[in-house]
A and B are shown apart, each in its own frame.
Chain A
Amino acid sequence: MGKPTGFLEYQRRDRSYEPVDERLKHYREFVRPLSEDELRRQGGRCMDCGTPYCHTGCPVNNLIPDWNELIYREDPRTALAVLHRTNNFPDVTGRICPAPCEASCTLNLIEDPVTIKTIEHAIVERGWAEGWVEPVVASRRTGKRAAVIGSGPAGLACAQQLARAGHDVAVFERNARIGGLLRYGIPDFKLEKSVIDRRIAQMRAEGVEFHPNSNIGVTRPVGDLMARFDAVVFAIGSEVPRDLPVPGRELAGIHFAMDFLAQQNRRVGGEKLAAPDILATGKHVLVIGGGDTGSDCIGTSNRHGAKSVTQIEILSMPPEHEDKLLTWPDWPMKLRTSSSQEEGIKRDWSVSTKMFTGKDGHVTGLSSARVEWRTSNDGRPLMEEVPDSDFEIKADLVLLAMGFVHPVKQGAVAETGLALDARGNLKADTENYRGSVDKVFCCGDARRGQSLVVWAIREGRQCARAVDEYLTGSSDLPR
């Protein structure tokens, strides 16, 4: 809080971006931080609510009012400690989290929320800059061994917590480098990979062993892990993308977004590419799907030098402003424009794809139609095609960014025989994260289904506590 009347005195001010022309020339982050004075004032806008909606609005329950106050009172070091109490990777969430906390901020009910994410980011970067971020080395070792399959945000958070509880932890990653979705899914211009590297360094110091190039269930049997470890955590993500099975889907030039993005991330990271280049340079790019992944495709395409980028979405265009009285503090459906969309894009809504058209086996466009949405009697949304609304969109690169359906079942999951829930995710509850097989735990998108990084971190942390309880009978790790 700092200042009880701060919210009446200070306007919301947020970080700015490099101009579009500039930032399109490179793949680096382009956010310009606030000055320290401004940051302090922004912290002073926090009202220290008796019921802090941000606190539960945030999936990891960040102690937002506490560190806002500390920033206002110019105690960044304590703020850093408080920040790390609930979040292993605030440097990640401070960059790429959509910030449900800000949607739920009490100030957002009436006006503009506190710049929570910006403050979070500033605290942790200050911490790194000052050398305040240190490994937290367990004071005693339990001698118990835990394996974590998958090095995305859930796996890493889980591994870090387990190591801090004194267990011997090994992380297995099928890719060449550690980081999972963070490294391969998110473009550098949103999350530079050094951010992950320094966390890996920290975790190494805390005793975590990393095993890249280890595709468990494929290059190495799960049984191996089950025999050698006291607990095995499946944090394998939700990698199977939603497909668009319409005529013409087999045409060349139609790719899943993640194939496109991962390749670019490898390219930037200097890795050798195993597959042929997918480049947007000089092309008419069509992105199907209006989520974050779609945006990443747009930003990447524009940096490649696409001739045009179009994004379509089957849902109707959301309202520009939500009805706050009916949505706050929940996450509102409203029209948002990401930094990538700002960089140059045509957007269209209520568009359903009927078929891809092509020439010489290569896609040239798609036939689509307008749809209308209404609500059924039992409150579910219903879609209807608008008669005679067919139209064509020209495209020579189509990127499917329609989300992910469930984890990959071939390999580790199949070998272990883990039970799945109705949606095809690994079955486990959020009390003890236990999979259907003894000593197996499941967390992150693999259990929950595709979601935000911050949810993955939460799951990883809570799963670690469950594993710790399982291994030692009780746990001091926070939930």
Chain B
Amino acid sequence: MQARQGLYDPRYEHDACGVGFIANIKNRKSHAILAQGIEILHNLAHRGAVSADPLAGDGAGILIQLPDRLFRSEAERLGFSLPEPGAYGVGMVFLPRSAETRRACEAVIAHFVAAEGQTLLGWRDVPVDPSVLGDSIRPNAPVIRQCFIARGANCVDADALERKLFVIRKQAHKELRARGLPDSGNFYIASLSTRTIIYKGMVICERLAAFYKDLEDERAESALALVHARFSTNTFPSWELAHPFRYLAHNGEINTLRGNINWMMARRHSMTSKLLGADLDKLWPLIGDGNSDSATLDNCLELLVAGGYPLPHALMMMVPEAWSENPLMDPDRRAFYEYHAALMEPWDGPAALAFTDGRQIGATLDRNGLRPARFFVTDDDHVVMASEAGVLDVPEERIVRKWRLEPGKMLLIDLERQRIIDDDELKAEIATAKPYQQWLDQTQIKIESLPDEIAPMAPPRAVLLDRQQAFGYTQEDISFFLKPIALSGEDTVGSMGRDTPLAVLSSRPKLLFDYFQQRFAQVTNPPIDSIRESLVMSLVSLVGPRPNLLDLETGGKHIRLELHKPILTNVDLEKIRRIEDNTGGTFRTSTISICYPAADGARGMRAALDAICTNAEQAVRGGHNIIVLSDRLVAPNRIAIPALLAVAAVHHHLIRGGLRTEVGLVVETGEARQLHDFCLLAGYGAEAINPYLAFDTLSALRHEFDKELSEAEAHEAYIKAIAKGVLKVMSKMGICTFQSYCGAQIFDAIGLGADFLDRYFTGTVSAIGGVGLDEIADETMRRHRLAFGDAPNYRDALDPGGDFAFRVHGEAHAWNADTVSLLQHAVRGNNYRKFKEYTRLVGEQEKALISLRGLLDFDYPADPVLLAEVEPAREIVKRFATGAMSFGSISWEAHTTLAIAMNRIGGRSNTGEGGEDPQRYKPLPNGDSMRSAIKQVASGRFGVNIEYLVNATDLQIKMAQGAKPGEGGQLPGHKVDDWIARTRYSVPGVGLISPPPHHDIYSIEDLAQLIHDLKNANREARVSVKLVSELGVGTIAAGVCKAYADHVTISGHEGGTGASPLSSIHHAGEPWEVGLAETHQTLVLNGLRGRIAVQVDGGIRSGREVVIGALLGADEFGVATAALIAAGCVMMRKCHLNTCPVGVATQDPELRRRFNGTPEDVVTLFMFLAEEVRELMAKLGFRNFDEMIGRTDKLKQRTDVDHPKARHIDLARILHRPDVPAGTKMHQCETQDHRLGRALDHQLIAACRPAIEKGEMVVVDLPIRNVNRTVGAMLSSEIARRYGDRGLADGTIRARFVGTAGQSFGAFLARGVTFEIEGAANDYVGKGLSGGRLIVYPPHASKIERDKAIIVGNTVLYGAIAGECYFSGVAGERFAVRNSGAVAVVEGAGAHCCEYMTGGIVVVLGETGTNFAAGMSGGIAFVLDESGKFPQRCNLAMVDLEPLADQDEHIETLEHRGGDLEMHGLVDVVHSLTQSDAKLLHGLVARHAGFTQSPKAKTILADWERYRSRFVKVMPIEYRRALLQIQARTRAAERPEVSVAVGAAE
């Protein structure tokens, strides 16, 4: 593995992949199973990745049962003999290439084998063929040997030997890591077991069997084969990180890894095991640092299994289902999970886990079900499970079951019991093995059940003011947070970007909270929608000691305290304080003050902190099991230590002592008031937080509220908003449970020194170093002095703050009256002198350290070049783009002004997430064009159809946005006017939700798939991925490049927004300098830099900043806010209120008239910027822009900074130049090979020429396989380029496929095309469907009932705009998610069906999963609810359920009209709204029957009267209101023809 250098840090590596297995249920071993495993691996190859070296894969592997026959004969050959199976184990050992070190490694193994009382029988050289390895891999490949160990006398059975082998392996690893022999990094024991063996390595999937000769050896036999193809973000060879691990292979990501590791360390003191006994101690450290999340997960699982947990039981503990908010769960199972919640915090994150111990094999999915897993069972006792369907060809008639793994569910095959155990049976068995409910009843105390207490009253105003000041309250805390929050119960929203200095650069005293930025999910794991998918979220917090993890027996003894949410009212806190009296002494609470004498000054803080830690430790050792850290005693002579510092210090102190799980940590603090504060306190270990001063403040403010609120109501609203906000922050990282968020440290520090962090925030990193305890203490001291001093401006008022709006005595802002007006005057007057005045001001601001780049200076060479020799400005401006702002967030006028300007100069404007009015695709009479070159593809997919895609120069996948990374968005109904609705293919007046994740991107290989889809849809466009700067973004960018993106954007946290929570604008993401430098360095290290263009954006305002960006590694530049200002924006920061007084960020026609921007002004801005760039290039000696990229040697950190905080910053890591061979590409100069050559569409297009060119009818028949991905997109692009959205006449092209289609079948399928499959399809069928028709039904040979078999995968019809679908079978999760207008019939669906739907019709002729219609604001659904359970499964937050109207005569009418519907698929929703549901439904079912021959549909039609009454209509409330309004308006206008048409019009 590449070592840490510059900003690259291997800890940020991510991986994801394809996983699969095959097993013989009867445990019959054969070589065929192994061979089929290899075949599965082949067919998953596209889910893995390769690096610059085409033979250097990211890793592939296979786990099988010990091939006893092979080893027995090999042992004979080598001169030793093996005892009977079970009495020996085999180790698969990767050894260093140096013979000397290798011998040392072998000796160490031998030593521990002997020390543990076992017998080393001998070694075998594993036969391999190194010639199949990639050139970059071969030189460093390990030497691979197997060791054979026979059971010693101290082991009674195979289980005992298995445990000993575990102990031997752990010790050998530890010993060798400790010795640090040269080249010993290669040493790794892939497996050491009596039952299983793993063959894995840095080999591409197709070559694994060629590399390991054993795998092709007929003597190698197994009853199971578990395989894995890895896609790593980086390409640094690492044999050990290939999957499978000893017990599992993983597809996904563990988001809470840091916290999980900490909590594992924390329980060392309290952990004992009957089974392991003294051996337990030899296993530490349980988890090797630098392992991947999957390896760590495996480490923990292995410990639990060794400690005696059955394998499925252990997995249920680690990756529990969502239980706390699930009323449908069986009580025993619920008790099981609730009980285990105290034992183990969830390992939270998307995960499809395939696991085996050689006797059982199975798979489980995390609670969100975010990874795909399909399986089938054959009538000859085989089970095949894989990330995709179609990985193994099996005759259809042999298949007896075809299903998918559902969220939170487990599939287990017990080879010893020789049968499949399904989720219900398995979990019932495990959940009733012990009396968990009884144990809970004996031990669980809920805070509500404790006797009521009385809270202290709020202090008088003067004291309140002093305290507020001591904790750094500003007027903005009141006006932007506490007041609006108490009134609305929601966290507050703001707009535009953060343009204030980082805390470490600010000259004002900042709270410690401000030095941390929230981390968030992008690409490698999805964020979650904590509102629409609240059923998986949980804020339950358990306070107090945790039981011994390895105690399986005495569960009814350990008392626990459960909180519904981790924010405590003053009453709650008193209850906890007095808990000893009320629980008979089971709980003992110790309150430790975190205040110390003011007389000790700032320098006294260190000793005070030490004392607090010591006190805490003594309290634990003295039998206290809850600690309350409190700053209530703050006073003129007592300084409060920042609460976050105190919490983190105590938390880590107790972890280091192995004591942390023996005590609960509660904080009572006046400091916490904004959402971010609570997140940090929890993230660094506080299990509960009491913000007493926020409550006191609300109590005092109450009289200023516009509405009557009791004190309790105000407090309650505040708690509610914060709780909701915490969930949202958790979900940004994809974390579902507070328990696993607590202590997970999901933060980057920025501007804190390594010593400080290592000591108090262990595991947290700042890329730029920074201040230490002394400076933090100084700031605290300054606040304290002001609070209790006599300064006139603080006598009766709080500090103005000025973080959220400019204030003269508040924080500095880059955009202020001077910079905005100078820039505007300069461009409007076309006055370059004025522009230079403006950039001089910007330069002064930078010198005064408003941003990190202010710390940089150019290192000018002695030999500048002449300005005339420098590349002309008209070339440089082509590197510029404006920001992604949707038509909707900004006005038509502003949006088109930017587009015209950028088109004039050859730069690029961006649609943002809102589609584009097709009239903009046509050039204007004067030659201008309003077409946005960059078409954004964001999570809402509004308006993303094939016409939109083919009209793009760049296609930008927005993974995250600088102002609100990890969050979705919402356009409220009142902002959706006719025009916006039209471009977004929605209905005016209906709110539109952009989900937090792209539902077709839950991991890196999914992103590769979407890139592939888009490239198919428009081969000429560059595909770009927009990321937000955070630590680790470089590795993600490397992954993005390996996923074949042509372009990547790194957005800084300064980026703007039309509306985001203030906490996100200010506290998420890093400056672009950090992310850009890391990206460039990592790409260069990987040899990938030349293949991808890097763009940077986020607060770029001057030529100097452009040049700094280039020197740090950017090819291109996004300039959004400055461009908007040139077009008239005055930084009102009122975008979210729709009251923009200059007509930029508003849809109000009155205000839009005030817009005064012109394309000329915007052009002038960019020409000026380029001119300034040229001047700097000349001084720096560059003639050509490309030469400048990545030249950090031309930058130096300023040495003249005497800022008390900023002088501690070290930018060496940002300025690092990776040490790479000469000739390594440093800027984008190559093109990606998108591997479109093999696309099935080439055959389709060839066959369809007559249709495309002449509109003739064409019928094509083709076989299809899972490796045929994105079929139809390229064909559709050909159609859309010629005919736009109109497409072809219905029925022009008909393509019939046989087989299992790969992912994204029928993506963006154009009008006039019908695709039909006999077989099945995978995920993302009909993504972005653009008017085409999709029909999928099972093979005629299939024996399974269609409504019990899966037919299409997850996330089908995502972002579909129009078209029709008929799927004769069950769909996976999230069917028709974000459907804008397609009509679909399906015979069953998984969870979250119709999520975020805004239009179209979905008919489900069978069972659905839970959370149906979450966030569904439009469209309608009909569900056949035969069991009557549907209402429980439907999320009723936005929809009503109603029976079908009794309107039989309409069916008659329908029949008489001769099947209008049949002809056009046109569905008149307005009409149906009032009278003809039955007609509509009947017609759709009839079509379904006609297209798919569905038996179910036929049954329904045959007995229509009976079935009709069993259908439930799902009607979004807002949608109905909007439709009725439209209807009323239409009638008023007397235009009865007009209606809203959904479905395939024409």
**Contact among B793, B817, B1131 with A104 in the assembled complex (CB-CB below 8 Å):** B817
Using A50-B496, A55-B808 as known contacts, say yes or no to A326 and B828 having CB atoms under 8 A apart: yes
Q: Which residue of A lies closest to B820 (CB)?
A: A51
- With contacts A47-B1134, A329-B817, A476-B791 taken as known, whether A7 is within 8 angstroms of B807 at the C-beta atoms is no
| Chain B residues with CB under 8 A of A82 | 797
Task: Name the residue on B nearest A165 (C-beta).
Answer: B792
> With A and B bound together, what is the CA distance between A63 and B797 in angstroms?
13
Compute how far the CA of A68 lies from the CA of B813 in the bound complex, rounded to whole angstroms. Answer: 22
Within 8 A of B (CB), among A31-66: 47-53, 55-57, 61, 63
Q: A106 and B821: CB pair below 8 A?
A: no
Q: What chain A residues lie within 8 Å of B800 (beta carbons)?
A: 63
Contact A106 B1141 (CB under 8 A): yes
Q: Does B1182 contact A (CB under 8 A)?
A: no
CA gap between A49 and B1135 in the complex, in Å: 11
Chain B residues lying within 8 Å of A107, measured Cβ to Cβ, are 1141
**Which residues from chain A contact B789 at a C-beta distance below 8 Å?**
476
A85 within 8 A of B: yes
Q: Which residues of A contact B790 (CB under 8 A)?
A: 139-140, 476
Within 8 A of B (CB), among A109-129: 109-110
A429 at interface (Cβ–Cβ under 8 A)?
A: no
> In this complex, what residue of B is CB-closest to A49?
B1132
Residues from chain B with Cβ under 8 Å of A275 in the complex: none
Residues of A close to B1131: CB separation below 8 A = 49-51
- Whether B1141 contacts A329 by the Cβ 8 Å rule is no
Of A8, A50, A55, A478, the most chain B CB neighbours within 10 A belong to A50
In the complex, A328→B1131 CA distance in Å? 14
Residues of chain A with a CB closer than 8 A to B1224's CB: none
The verdict on A51 contacting B1156 (CB below 8 Å), with A61-B809, A85-B797 known, is no
State whether the Cβ of A134 lies closer than 8 Å to any Cβ in chain B: no
Q: Does A279 contact B (CB under 8 A)?
A: no
- Asked if A164 is at the interface of the complex by the 8 Å CB criterion, the answer is yes
Q: Does B818 count as interface, using CB distance less than 8 angstroms?
A: yes
| A contact residues around B808 at 8 Å (CB) | 55-56, 61
Residue among B793, B805, B813, B821 having the largest count of chain A Cβ atoms under 10 Å: B821
- The answer on a CB contact under 8 Å between A109 and B818 is no
Report if A133 contacts B (CB, 8 A). no
Name, among B804, B817, B824, B1154, the residue most crowded by chain A CB atoms within 10 Å (CB to CB). Answer: B817
**A residues 81-107 in Cβ contact with B at 8 Å:** 81-82, 85, 104, 106-107
Does B684 make an interface contact (CB < 8 A)?
A: no
Contact A50 B793 (CB under 8 A): no
Chain A, range 308-358, C-beta contacts under 8 Å to B = 325-330
Fill in one digit per residue for B1133-1146: 1 if any A CB lies within 8 Å of its CB, else 0.
11001010110000
Is B805 a contact partner of A49 (Cβ separation < 8 A)?
A: yes
Q: Do residues B792 and A52 form an inter-chain contact, with CB atoms below 8 A? A: no
CB distance from B789 to the nearest CB of A (A): 7
B869: interface (CB < 8 Å): no
Q: Counting CB contacts under 8 A, is B1130 at the interface? A: yes
Chain B 827-845 interface residues, beta-carbon cutoff 8 Å to A = 828-829
**Closest beta carbon of chain A to B800's beta carbon, Å:** 8
Contact A51 B805, beta carbon cutoff 8 Å: yes
Bound Cα distance from A82 to B792, whole angstroms: 12
- How long is the Cα–Cα vector from A205 to B1375 in the complex, in angstroms? 78
Take A85-B797, A326-B829 as given contacts and tell me if A51 and B792 are in contact as well, using a CB distance cutoff of 8 Å: no
Within 8 A of B (CB), among A1-22: 4-5, 7-8
Contact across chains for A476 and B828 when beta carbons are under 8 A apart: no
Q: Given A47-B1141, A61-B809, answer yes or no on A478-B792 (Cβ-Cβ < 8 Å).
A: yes
Interface size of A by CB at 8 A reads: 39
State the CA gap A329–B1141 with chains docked (Å).
14
Interface string of B1446-1484 (1 = CB under 8 A from A): 000000000000000000000000000000000000000
Query: Which residues from 228 to 281 on chain A have a C-beta closer than 8 Å to any C-beta of chain B?
Result: none
- Which one of A49, A104, A107, A139 has the highest number of Cβ atoms from chain B below 10 Å of its Cβ? A49
Residues of A within 8 A of B805 (CB): 48-52
Nearest-CB residue, chain B, relative to A85:
B793
- Cβ of A52: which chain B residues have Cβ within 8 Å of it? 805-807, 817
Which residue on A lies nearest to B1161, using beta carbons? A325
Partner pick for A325 among B796, B806, B824, B1141, CB 8 A cutoff: B824
Given contacts A4-B1139, A81-B796, A85-B797, contact A106 B824 (CB under 8 A): no
Q: Is B1230 an interface residue (CB 8 A)?
A: no
In residues 188-240 of chain A, which contact B (Cβ within 8 Å)? none
A106 CA to B1156 CA in the complex, in Å? 14
Q: What residues of chain B lie closer than 8 Å to A328, measured between beta carbons?
A: 821
Is B515 at the interface (CB under 8 A from chain A)?
no
Complex Cα–Cα for A462 and B814 (A): 24
Which residues from A are CB-within-8-Å of B1154? 110
Contact between A4 and B824, CB atoms less than 8 A apart: no
How long is the Cα–Cα vector from A477 to B808 in the complex, in angstroms?
A: 15
A8 and B1134 CA atoms in complex are apart in Å by: 14
Q: Does B816 contact A (CB under 8 A)?
A: yes
Q: Does A369 contact B (CB under 8 A)?
A: no
Whether A306 sits at the interface, judged by CB under 8 Å, is no
- Report A151-207 residues with CB < 8 Å from chain B CB: 164-165
Within 8 A of A (CB), among B1120-1175: 1130-1134, 1137, 1139, 1141-1142, 1150-1151, 1154, 1156
Interface centre among B789, B828, B1139, B1154 (most CB of A within 10 A): B1139
User: Which of B791, B1133, B1150, B1156 is the one whose CB lies under 8 Å from A50?
Assistant: B1133
Residues of B within 8 A of A49 (CB): 805, 1130-1134
Given the known interface contacts A50-B1132, A52-B806, the answer about A325 and B828 at a Cβ–Cβ threshold of 8 Å is yes
Give chain A residues whose Cβ lies under 8 Å from the Cβ of B796: 81
Nearest CB in chain B to that of A104: its residue: B817
Whether, in the assembled complex, B1498 has its beta carbon less than 8 Å from a beta carbon of chain A, the answer is no
B499 to chain A, nearest CB (A): 10
Q: Is A419 an interface residue (CB 8 A)?
A: no
Query: Are B821 and A7 in contact, with the CB atoms below 8 A?
Result: no
Q: Known A5-B1139, A107-B1141, A329-B817; judge A477-B1134 contact (CB<8 A).
A: no
Interface pair B821/A330, CB less than 8 Å apart: yes
By a CB distance below 8 angstroms, the chain B residues around A413 are none
The answer for the CA separation of A348 and B1302 in the assembled complex, in Å, is 85
Check: A452 CB closer than 8 A to any chain B CB. Answer: no
Chain B: minimal CB distance from A251 (Å): 46
Decide yes or no whether A405 CB sits under 8 A from chain B. no
Q: How far is the CA of A290 from the CA of B373 in the complex (A)?
A: 84
Q: Is B815 an interface residue (CB 8 A)?
A: yes
A462 CB, nearest partner CB in chain B, Å: 12
Residue of A nearest to B1158 (CB): A325
- A420 lies within 8 A of chain B by Cβ: no
Known: A139-B790, A478-B809. Is A47-B1132 also a contact (CB below 8 A)?
Answer: yes
The complex places the Cα of A476 from the Cα of B821 at a distance, in Å, of 32
Kindly state the separation between the CA atoms of A165 and B1130 in the bound complex, as whole angstroms. 38
**A51–B793 touching, CB < 8 Å:** no
Decide if A393 is an interface residue (CB 8 Å cutoff): no
Q: A383: which B residues are within 8 A, CB to CB?
A: none
CB B972 to nearest CB in A, in angstroms, measures 15
In the assembled complex, the Cα of A160 lies from the Cα of B142 at a distance in Å of 82
* Interface residue A136 (Cβ < 8 Å from any Cβ of B): yes
A106 near B806: Cβ-Cβ < 8 Å? no
Which 8 A-B residue pairings sit nearest by Cβ, starting from the closest?
A50-B1133, A476-B791, A61-B808, A51-B1131, A56-B817, A53-B817, A50-B805, A478-B793
List B residues at the A interface (Cβ < 8 Å).
Answer: 495-496, 789-794, 796-797, 800, 804-809, 813, 815-818, 820-821, 824-825, 828-829, 1130-1134, 1137, 1139, 1141-1142, 1150-1151, 1154, 1156
Q: Can you name 14 extra interface pairs (CB under 8 A) apart from A85-B797, A109-B1141, A140-B790?
A: A51-B816, A51-B1131, A51-B1132, A51-B1133, A56-B816, A57-B817, A82-B797, A85-B793, A106-B1130, A106-B1132, A109-B1130, A110-B1141, A110-B1154, A164-B792
Would you mind naming 13 contact pairs between A and B with Cβ atoms under 8 Å apart?
A50-B1131, A51-B1130, A51-B1131, A53-B821, A55-B817, A85-B797, A140-B790, A326-B828, A328-B821, A476-B789, A476-B790, A478-B809, A479-B809
